[in-house]
Amino acid sequence: PSAAAPVRVWRAMSSTAVTVLDGLSPTCAPFAARWDTEADRRRELRTPEHRAAWIAARHHRAVAGVAVAQARSQCKTAREASANPLAARRRAARLASKTAKGRRKAARADVKAARVTYPAALYQRALQAHAAHAVPAGVVAWLSSQDWPVEMSAGLVGLHAAGLWLGRRHAPVAPTVEGAVSAEERQLLDRLHPEYWTAHAADRGLAGTLTTPPALGPGGIRCEVRLDGTWTVKALAAKADSVRALLGARTALRLRITGGARGGWAVLTLATRQATDGVSAVWTPARIPADPLAMSVGVDTETGEEVLVAFDERMLISGASGSGKSWSIRPLMATAHLRGDLVFVDGKGEEATLWDGVCRVAVTTDEINAVIDEVHAEMTRRAAELKRRRLSRWDGPQLTVLIDEGQVVL
């Protein structure tokens, strides 16, 4: 056990470090993407033809510089030979000097243009930039006998290297469910990765958004999206078609964009699978929550968790005829029946055939009127009991009255 303890500590520290790196990588991904884009651009321009043009431009600049020096020497000799500034020799020397300077200026412009077409490699520019502060920092540290200039310079170099490494780090997408990842899910996971998203989001009008490494769960693919600038969750949801086009997702695939746990973040969900696959949909009393103030209406297809609603609150369940209202409330009716007393008023009488003999059911006009009288009498009795016991809330069994198709009853 004493030998295994350090191993467990090391594994815990490693897991924490990997989690922290996975969180930092999306932040550094834009920096690394811009770096790589610029490095690739410079690399493509560094062709032998551009190099030859740059060398030729430098040669012409050197020749022009020699010509300027010779013209300057001729002007000096002409001044020594004649004190008259209007002498022909001095005028010819000045004209030659002016012409040579014009050629040198044009040669310098050609060198500058050739340098743009044949730029230095990006890493060379980075080394030059770091040397610009590293060398003076070393001199200052040596003269002042202080270490902080060198430490600051080394910190900048380390920060630069760490940012590139984190931005290029491809956080592995480990499925959290058993089973192989389908080809469709693999494509979506790759396109949701910060590297791909950063490179292609602007083309779809999504510049200013950045994804985190996606995760594959029992309900499909889920990832967070950072919203920069003026982006909001509502604005991103309005761009759902652009998101679908960027991912190449099927039109029939359900895509949801909701708010994150904190401001400036959204959650993108792709229902590539359901958490209820292979799970029986038959309701049993075992699905009644332990919390007496909650009841389960079903199972969330994304998380596989029970969807809970309040047990002691009034509810209005609306929807078109045949949309499944009566079917959906059966778990709620069963919970109310097992926890207390249930009264079912069914204006059409279709659902009442299943509950007749289980709870108090009313279908016809006379039955509905009788049930209303009974419930009103019970309400009056409980009100008197509350007043007598000086209570503000009923502490006995709950009486639940469910009306199916209230318009028909009215």
Q: How far is CA 318 from CA 26, 325, 406, in A?
A: 43, 7, 10
pTM value? Answer: 0.47
Q: Which residues of 153-177 are buried (b: 16+ CB within 10 A; e: fewer)?
A: beeeeeeeeebbebbbbebebeeee
Distance CA 361, CA 306 (A): 28
Spell out the per-residue pLDDT of the chain, length 410, in tens.
Answer: 455 566 666 667 776 776 677 667 777 777 777 788 888 888 888 888 888 998 999 999 999 999 989 888 888 888 888 888 888 888 888 898 899 899 999 999 998 988 888 888 888 888 888 888 888 888 888 888 777 777 888 888 888 888 888 777 754 544 444 457 888 899 999 999 988 898 899 999 999 999 988 988 888 899 999 999 899 999 999 999 999 999 999 999 999 999 988 889 999 999 988 877 777 778 888 888 888 889 988 888 777 788 899 988 899 988 888 888 888 889 999 999 999 999 999 988 888 889 999 999 999 999 999 999 999 999 999 999 999 999 998 888 999 999 988 888 88
| Amino acid letter, 152 | M
Q: How many CB atoms lie within 10 A of CB 34?
A: 12
Q: C-alpha angle with apex 176: 250 to 256, nearest 5 degrees?
A: 35
The two tokens of residue 180 are: 């192989």
For the chain, the straight-line distance linking the first and the last C-alpha, in angstroms and rounded, comes to: 73
Q: Which residue spans within 161-259 are E strands per DSSP? A: 209-211, 215-217, 220-227, 255-259
